[in-house]
Amino acid sequence: MNLCNVWKILLFVGIVFQAPKFSFAQNGVATEADSMMYVNHEKESILDHLLESKMSKLEIVTNLDSLFGDRRLKAYKDANATFTFENGESWTDSLEVKVRGVYRAAKCDNPPLKIKYSKKLLKKRGLKKRNEYKVVYPCKNNKSYQNYIYKEYLIYKMYNELTDKSLRVHLIDFTLRDVNQEKEDIHTTGFLIEHREEIIKRLDAHKNDMRCLPVKMLSPEDYTLFQVFQFMIGNVDWLIETCKNAEVIQLRDSTIIPIPYDFDYTGMVKPSYAKPFSHFNQIKITDRYFLGHNKNMEELIPIFELFKEKKNNFIELINDFSYLSKRERKVMIRYLQSFYRILDRPAQIKKVFVHDMGPMKEQY
């Protein structure tokens, strides 16, 4: 039996026999209300409520020595959190917080976090049980790293422009305080990311724990959109078969779609710590390489048309984002326009998007 057939059997089993859900803590979070598609979801989570405003405040109080000292096991720690909404309303609750991630958890002064609310608490607030969120904020306390966060946030918003089948994000004025008052407060701007459980509910998708699959099982249209987007932002740091910075969900019509995340290691963000991938012929991190094996032009053309339709939306999104300096916004737009110059040249399109990836072709 080949690998693809094994995955199909496992996926079927995962859908019919629902795997038990994790239940670490007894505290919860979630919410954002945007113009995005809701199949079976309407202002049910914290994220939904947060998304009614451009930016909200989040303050977390915990033992910072205990939290930041646990970067290997990444166990949840007790904390208190206060969300302050744009209308002045605030919610203060106990929850749990832990360090998450791999590279940034190991290298950052300020490692990325995950927060988890009690589902019982959410029920008392009249919310559904969407109780986990990733918190992304600057790796180090300086302006360059803050700009990386702003750019990564904008990349999530750009993918939202292309498809509802994407992770929602919400900008936050973020403060992290030490409960013992022995450490300086960390005060910065970050963003929350929608949890897998919430996007599954929002899209009325199947609840299962299957996150990685051979790419042959993906919806061709959704996968091509995913690939072209990764090329546009200069990202080769992903691999669906191993869930590296992407995972899959299955819709009710059995369509399997890829969901990308973690966009810091890209040419559009261009962080100082990013190193080029020599096996993709990158000399610098801003060099693009299309991770797709001999794509058919009939698949590519309608996707290119969608990107062309969204060009002005992307530029407006970046231009209107005043948290970034004009100079940084111009750099982002210049990088974006270099992608569109390729789309305007038929000879370039064939050269860039239709190529043989050799032994790696089965993965892309």
- 179 and 101, same domain (yes or no): yes
Q: What is d(CA 72, CA 100) in angstroms, rounded to the nearest whole number?
A: 9
- pLDDT at position 40 is 45
Q: What is the pLDDT of residue 43?
A: 63
Please report the pLDDT score of residue 357 as a whole number.
83
Domain limits at 191?
Answer: 26-200
Q: Report the alpha-carbon distance of residue 318 to residue 70 in Å, rounded.
A: 36
Ranges of the chain whose pLDDT falls below 70: 1-43
- Contact at 8 Å (CB) between 14 and 104? no
Half-sphere exposure of 352 (CA within 13 A, CB side): 23
**Distance separating alpha carbons of residues 134 and 312, to the nearest angstrom:** 30
The residues near 319 (Cβ < 8 Å, ≥ 6 apart) are 329, 333
In terms of domains, do 126 and 170 share one? yes
Q: Are residues 163 and 230 in the same domain?
A: no
Residue 31: its pLDDT value, please? Answer: 31
Q: Do residues 237 and 140 share a domain?
A: no
> Based on the domain organization, do 241 and 326 belong to the same domain?
yes
What does DSSP assign to residue 227?
Answer: H
pLDDT at site 355: 85
Do 217 and 358 belong to one domain?
yes
Same domain, yes or no, for 161 and 283?
Answer: no
Structural contact between residues 54 and 171, judged by C-beta atoms closer than 8 angstroms: yes
Q: Which of 146, 180, 200 corresponds to the end of one domain?
A: 200
pTM above 0.85, yes or no: yes
- Among 249, 251, 21, smallest CA distance to 116 is for 21
Buried b (16+ CB within 10 A) or exposed e, 83-92: bbbeeeeeee
